[in-house]
Amino acid sequence: MPRKRFKGIIVKKSGDKTYKVKVVREYPHPLYRKVVREVRYFLVHSENEHKMGEEVIIRETRRISKHKSFIIEESKG
């Protein structure tokens, strides 16, 4: 099964190698066709330094800690 990948923005550095990433998903409501925005936050592991507001691509991986199961795959900016 392929691993999940999301595009998001770094909103917080929480810990030595942990970042909080905000992922926004927009989709039309199945019945009413209004565009619905769903916002989710993920704790992400990275060995490299990143800045707040940086756009990143995160990828699902093995569980690293209780709440971390994603890593930063690619950084844009």
What pLDDT is stored for residue 76 in this prediction? 86
Torsion of Cα atoms, 10 then 14 then 15 then 17, to 10°: -20
24-50 pLDDT, tens digit each: 999 999 999 999 999 999 999 999 999
Let me know: does 58 contact 70? Beta carbons within 8 Å.
yes
Structural domains of the chain, with CATH: 5-76 (2.40.50.140)
Per the document, the length of the chain is: 77
User: What mean pLDDT do residues 52-58 have?
Assistant: 97
Under DSSP, the state recorded for 3 is P
C-alpha 73/C-alpha 54 separation (Å) is 13
User: What mean pLDDT do residues 51-61 have?
Assistant: 96
Q: Which two tokens stand for residue 47?
A: 């060995």
